Amino acid sequence: MIHTRIIFCFAALLAPCLISAQEKDRKGMEDLQNTFKVSKREPFHLRVEVDAGQVRVAKGTRDDEVRVGLRYDRTLYHHTFRFSESRNTLEITFDRQKWFDRDSEEDAGVLELELATEAELHLEFKIKAGEIDMQLGGLKIAELALQTMAGEVNLDFDEPNRIEMSSLDLNTKVGESKYVRLGNARFRDADINGGIGELTIDFNGEMIKDAVARVDLDIGETAIILPREAGTKLSVSKFLFLSHIDLPHELRQDGRYYFTENYDRADRTFQLRISSGLGECRVELR
């Protein structure tokens, strides 16, 4: 009975401490929503820099608004917004300050962006580490640059871009990246760089005429998917015997170039240059 009373008293004393710690953790978390009114008459420039966390970008519901959502621990993260209405620009930074204090997934910050549907978008993302999901179909994107140091990237153009994209620049250093339906980006010029890891590049979609793309690979396994309906001219450079390129048997070779069977009669032609590194690169027609 005495032991029971001692345990009960100890638990009673400890309970406020536990509750206080839980409340402190809850108070450390913050949900922030912000909306920025952008001009549809001038190009809108968005620059995002993230240390670490989850980044989600998608088409919004308003034609002239960019919506930003943040969920983060105030003791670990710091953010800034720099919006200029006169220049029609928005800069977002999301910095992690204490890298080694905690490492659970619950501590990861989350940045969510909803983009204006009618503004001409010039987008630049620099993300050091994290999980990135971008659903960018149906927008008006004139330029897109994405640089990732480490993490997982899923980029999808599920609908055609509503204007021609002058440049598309995708660069991943370490991790797994999937670029889906890039033809729908309707880019004129694309540079795709893969570092160390797995990379999937799907060029299907409503590609514009005479689009050009360069794929530069370092180390890893890469799958490149070419659209059957577009006439493709392909050139490949290999890193000595350490590179392995698997090409479809339907391609015909003429000198150092490979052509799809429909290249001479296709309404849309596509030029692709592949520089392979260490590992395997598989090219498919779908």
pLDDT at residue 18 above 80? no
127 φ/ψ sector (left φ>0, alpha ψ -120 to 50, else beta): beta
Domain assignment present for residue 21? The answer is: no
pLDDT at residue 245 above 90? no
Domain assignment present for residue 3? The answer is: no
Q: Give SS3 for 264.
A: coil
Please give the average per-residue pLDDT across 75-95, as a whole number: 95
Domain assignment present for residue 15? The answer is: no
d(CA 163, CA 141): 7
Domain assignment present for residue 114? The answer is: yes
pLDDT tens sequence across 127-160? 999 999 999 999 999 999 999 999 999 999 999 9
pLDDT at 97: 80
pLDDT at 277: 83
Domain assignment present for residue 172? The answer is: yes
Domain assignment present for residue 1? The answer is: no
pLDDT at 29: 84
d(CA 165, CA 191): 13
Structural domains of the chain, count: 1
pLDDT at residue 238 above 80? no
Please give the average per-residue pLDDT across 104-118, as a whole number: 84
Please give the average per-residue pLDDT across 59-67, as a whole number: 97
Domain assignment present for residue 17? The answer is: no
Domain assignment present for residue 2? The answer is: no
Domain hosting residue 71, numbered range: 30-285
What string of DSSP letters covers 159-192?
A: S--SS-BSEEEEEEEEEEEEEE-GGGG-BSEEEE
Structure tokens that stand for 48 in this block: 């995002």
pLDDT at 244: 83
CB atoms within 10 A of CB 52: 22
pLDDT at residue 101 above 80? no
d(CA 200, CA 176): 8
Q: Give SS3 for 11.
A: helix
The CATH number given to whatever domain includes residue 243 is 2.160.20
What string of DSSP letters covers 112-133?
A: EEEE-SSSPEEEEEEEEEEEEE
Please give the average per-residue pLDDT across 190-197, as a whole number: 95
pLDDT at residue 45 above 70? yes
Higher per-residue confidence, 275 vs 238: 275
| Sole residue written with tokens 């090219």 | 283
pLDDT at residue 12 above 50? no
pLDDT at residue 243 above 60? yes
Q: Would you call 31 exposed, middle or buried from its count of C-beta atoms within 10 A (0-12, 13-18, 19+)?
A: exposed
